[in-house]
Structure 1
Amino acid sequence: MTTTLVPALRSATEPDPARPAEAADAGPGPLGVLGVPGQVNLDYAATAPCARVAADAVAELLPWYGSVHRGAGAASRRSTLAYERARQTVGDFLGARGDDHVIFTRNTTDALNLLARALPAGTTVVTFAGEHHANLLPWRGGTVRLPVPRSAGAALRALDAALGELRRDTDGAAPVLVAVTGASNVTGECWPVAELALVAHRHGARIAVDAAQLAPHVPLDIAALAVDYVAISGHKLYAPFGAGVLAGRADWLDAAPPYLAGGGATTAVGAATHDVRWARGPARHEAGTPNLLGAVALAAVCAALESADRTALHAREQALLARLRSGLAALPEVLELRTFDAAAPRVGIVSFVVAGRDSTRVAEELGREHGIGLRDGLFCAHPLTRRLLTEAATRAGRSDLPPTALRASIGLGSTRDDVDRLLTALAGLG
């Protein structure tokens, strides 16, 4: 679970200032990302820039854009083929098993809400308090929220104990789903997904992984990790065209009522109100005209990443991440937020605060004065971020930390110059 994306070559031509350009060091190849000259994008964790291959795939298909599954003309037939090929490509990228469903959604939040709607009656969901809101809020009925663990090992022990207690209380008869992140959107820290899956299955539970932040940085293999469901977002994965995916076991999804009721989710509709035969498979939960361009763009990025040297990409990103973290640590007023110890594996995300400075104003100054874009706030993970802010204040013995944090995130297209510009700007804050 520690691989990556290819180092890109610097373009031999100067960017045209009149149009968006590919980021320096991202190169003109398929995995080069688009950007604005002079601007530093350190907000990949919110929305990653568009990969050239995604833009090209959309441009190529646009003249043929037509109805998916709903026409006999050339445009419709080509669009339908492109959509279903995209489904196969994304499934292969995720290591989906032959009998898994790959369902296109809007994003990870939508995918996890779909799964929440598909849970069998009486299912208990076990999750951790450090999750993104997308993996905290959708779950209905019985929910067990475990405290934020201090380490990967502590997460495993806490889950084992919680599932053991649930099993005793229910005699192992009620369904249980464990819902966890693959990599934190606040700290970038990677969670022990394969080991958590082993614990879950030992207790007869299933496991769903919010892989929104993991998939852009680390190869995923549903079968190898032995997880039951994975949710991802295209806009985190260099395909910002409004598509996401829920991939995983078919039985709960086929047994559940359709996520949306409408055309495409049925095989037959009669005159009577309840005379409806719902489709099985992905179509059951994809009613309405699908996001063809989003699916095709996401598949194009997945295919490009599959053929890339992800080990080299990972090494490049980790070197930039180490430079960023060591540079922040050298600034006396800057404190990094973390859940696990400082050496824990992580992807290219760092959250921090500047003591005595309001995070929103710092972010505004960085953007206005230095052309640096990053995120400020609580990152749709309010319980975790507030806790980490309190812990950072305690560790540092400070009482002047702001109530929100800053987050710098990197990926394809990020450079040493980007990192150094941020560090220099932070060092020069008035």
Structure 2
Amino acid sequence: MTVLTRPSPDLADRATQTPDVPALLPTVGAGESVPLVGGRRAGYVHLDNAASAPALARVAAHVTEVLPAYASVHRGAGYLSQLCTGLYEQARETVGRFVHARPDDVVVLTRNTTDALNLLASAVPGEVVVLDVEHHANLLPWTSASGRPARVVRSAPTLAGTEASLAAELAHRPAALLAVTGASNVTGEVPDLRRLVRLAHAHGARVVVDAAQLLPHRGFDLAALDADYVAFSGHKAYAPFGAGALVGRRDWLDAAEPHQAGGGAVRRVGVSDGTTATDWATSPERHEGGTPNVLGALALAEALRVLEATGLDRVRHHEAALHRRLVDGLRARGLEPLRLWDDPSDVVGVVSFTVPGWRAAQVAAYLSAEHGVGVRDGRFCAHPLLARLGVDDGAVRASLGVGSSSADVDRLLAALDALLRDGPRWTYASDGATCRPSPDDRDLPTWAGATGLHTLAPATTPCAPTIPAGAEQ
């Protein structure tokens, strides 16, 4: 039996009175028509920016413009090689400038945040302290690289209590590094990074900030925060071309083994008596062995230039209006967003929730198949955090970006209304990992080389809604 919720009149009125908010910047694929089950079509609503944001139109145009001149960098004498080398190093400078790197900081271009944090993990000369609410990218590397388990501190119900727990742990036993999230990829909550940096430094520890979710929404200022390192991904900052960055203090990185040994990471290699003698380069080259992702770096730099030119205050205002509309709309339907702390000072446009009576996987599949609304479901690579919140079965996450509009939020809310009122109109089945419409008659585009999504994997087990405790069977 589906549990229906009664909207709160005050919140419903507030949601409808919120001014319309257009998209702030054009993105590739905005409004793209997608098939729905039953032969219908709709404009796509992209509310999965926290996973991967669509490319900014200007980023795609920049890559298309540069592509004819693409050539290998750093070691070519040809005109195009030298041109690309200059553009690549200019991109590095742009990345450093955007995060306000200090003159002696180093910018290492990586694949993504996970790659950047694994690189730093191999360089940390001691133990690492983390909270239990981190994304796996900021939890798992500290153990796998060092062989020592990270010291995981349990988050308290408040930020103040969480800071006190961290202070007690750092005072109990010194650590080399405190690794913290800049913004939760589940709830969007932003800790007081300035206080956390001061706390860590007072106990002799450095700080790395996982800014994968924070940077596209707020930017980042290494110098002002006095943080030691920041890691982030291009694909969450409207440059989905496979580049990210680690920016911060040079000494640990210059002392570490190369992240990927190979050409470009060395000054000189010799062979004597069957062994190699290697003189490794300093950072960043030391950790960028092999041919780098030139186009990804240029795309990332262009995205940061566009965000900077647009103004981070405008980005914040745009997002705040949409976030308020979304949260008010969910609460009007009796759906309370998940939260970690009672006292967050800031929150970015990431909202996770559950729908009583329905599994998160089925809600997400329904939103996509019957309404063309793309969200994320599951545990969002943050299993300990979801366990803390009591939603081991997963949640639904809607995440906003510069290409989002009030019309997108309204489409999601209207789709949830239909689910709560009538339930799905289609049947759904599980393939063991997720939930999909069954049968799935949505066609793929001709360039995808298949005739329907049903060809991807069989889905045979019915996706049954959950039955709340005490409900009539």
Query: What TM bracket, shorter-length normalisation?
Result: 0.7 to 0.9
**1:235 partnered with 2:240:** no
The within-5 A match list for 1:213-224 is 213-224=213-224
Shift, 1:197, TM fit = 0.3
Assess if the C-alpha contact under 8 Å between 1:337 and 1:389 holds in 2: no
Assess if the C-alpha contact under 8 Å between 2:159 and 2:343 holds in 1: no
- Which residue matches 1:280? 282
Q: Secondary structure at the match of 1:118?
A: coil
- Residues 331-378 of structure 1, C-alpha deviation per residue, up to 9 Å, x if partnerless? 13x232110127642000000000110111111110011000000000
Flag as ranges the 4+ runs of structure 1 deviating above 2 A.
24-27, 341-344
- Residues 377-408 of structure 1, C-alpha deviation per residue, up to 9 Å, x if partnerless? 00000010122135xxxxxxxxxxx8111000
Q: Which amino acid aligns with 1:32?
A: P
Assess if the C-alpha contact under 8 Å between 1:26 and 1:33 holds in 2: no
| Identity across matched positions, percent | 53
**1:34 partnered with 2:28:** yes
- Which residue matches 1:426? 416
Q: Which amino acid aligns with 2:372?
A: G
**1:143 partnered with 2:144:** no
Cα distance in 2, alignment partners of residues 26 and 335 from structure 1:
25
Q: Please, which runs of 5 or more residues in structure 2 have no aligned partner?
A: 1-20, 34-42, 424-473
**1:309 partnered with 2:311:** yes
- Which residue matches 2:404? 414
- Residues 207-226 of structure 1, C-alpha deviation per residue, up to 9 Å, x if partnerless? 00000000000021101010
Shift, 1:161, TM fit = 1.1
Q: Secondary structure at the match of 1:217?
A: helix
Q: Which amino acid aligns with 1:383?
A: P
Assess if the C-alpha contact under 8 Å between 1:208 and 1:230 holds in 2: yes
- Which residue matches 1:300? 302
- How big is the alpha-carbon RMSD for the aligned residues of Structure 1 and Structure 2? 1.4
Q: Secondary structure at the match of 1:96?
A: coil
Cα distance in 2, alignment partners of residues 340 and 364 from structure 1:
29
Measured at CA, do residues 408 and 309 of structure 1 come closer, stay the same or move farther in structure 2, by a change above 3 Å? same
- Residues 287-318 of structure 1, C-alpha deviation per residue, up to 9 Å, x if partnerless? 00000000000000111112222212211210
Cα distance in 1, alignment partners of residues 398 and 251 from structure 2:
40
> Over alpha carbons, which structure has the higher Rg?
2
Q: Which amino acid aligns with 2:322?
A: L
- Which residue matches 1:97? 102
**1:163 partnered with 2:185:** no
Q: Secondary structure at the match of 1:72?
A: coil
Q: Secondary structure at the match of 2:215?
A: coil
Cα distance in 2, alignment partners of residues 92 and 370 from structure 1:
41
Cα distance in 1, alignment partners of residues 219 and 260 from structure 2:
31
The within-5 A match list for 1:82-121 is 82-120=87-125
Assess if the C-alpha contact under 8 Å between 1:363 and 1:376 holds in 2: yes
Cα distance in 1, alignment partners of residues 65 and 162 from structure 2:
46
Q: Which amino acid aligns with 1:380?
A: C
Assess if the C-alpha contact under 8 Å between 1:129 and 1:146 holds in 2: yes
Cα distance in 2, alignment partners of residues 342 and 157 from structure 1:
14
Shift, 1:274, TM fit = 3.2
The within-5 A match list for 1:54-93 is 54-93=59-98
Measured at CA, do residues 110 and 166 of structure 1 come closer, stay the same or move farther in structure 2, by a change above 3 Å? same
Cα distance in 2, alignment partners of residues 343 and 258 from structure 1:
39
- Which residue matches 1:375? 376
Cα distance in 2, alignment partners of residues 71 and 96 from structure 1:
29
Cα distance in 2, alignment partners of residues 343 and 297 from structure 1:
33
Assess if the C-alpha contact under 8 Å between 2:208 and 2:229 holds in 1: yes
Q: Secondary structure at the match of 1:56?
A: helix
Q: Which amino acid aligns with 1:299?
A: A
Cα distance in 2, alignment partners of residues 94 and 342 from structure 1:
27
**Pick aligned residue for 1:330 from 326, 329, 332:** 332
Cα distance in 1, alignment partners of residues 278 and 343 from structure 2:
55
Residues 31-40 or 316-325, more deviating: 31-40
- Which residue matches 1:385? 386
Residues 78-87 or 311-320, more deviating: 311-320
Assess if the C-alpha contact under 8 Å between 2:159 and 2:344 holds in 1: no
Q: Please, which runs of 5 or more residues in structure 1 have no aligned partner?
A: 1-23, 168-174, 391-401
Q: Secondary structure at the match of 2:357?
A: coil
- Which residue matches 1:353? 354
Shift, 1:324, TM fit = 0.3
Cα distance in 2, alignment partners of residues 241 and 353 from structure 1:
32
- Which residue matches 2:53? 48
Q: Which amino acid aligns with 2:413?
A: L
Q: Which amino acid aligns with 2:336?
A: L
Shift, 1:54, TM fit = 1.1
Shift, 1:25, TM fit = 3.6
Cα distance in 2, alignment partners of residues 54 and 282 from structure 1:
24
The within-5 A match list for 1:124-139 is 124-139=127-142
- Residues 165-211 of structure 1, C-alpha deviation per residue, up to 9 Å, x if partnerless? 114xxxxxxx5100000000000000111110000111111000000
Q: Secondary structure at the match of 1:271?
A: strand
- Which residue matches 2:266? 266
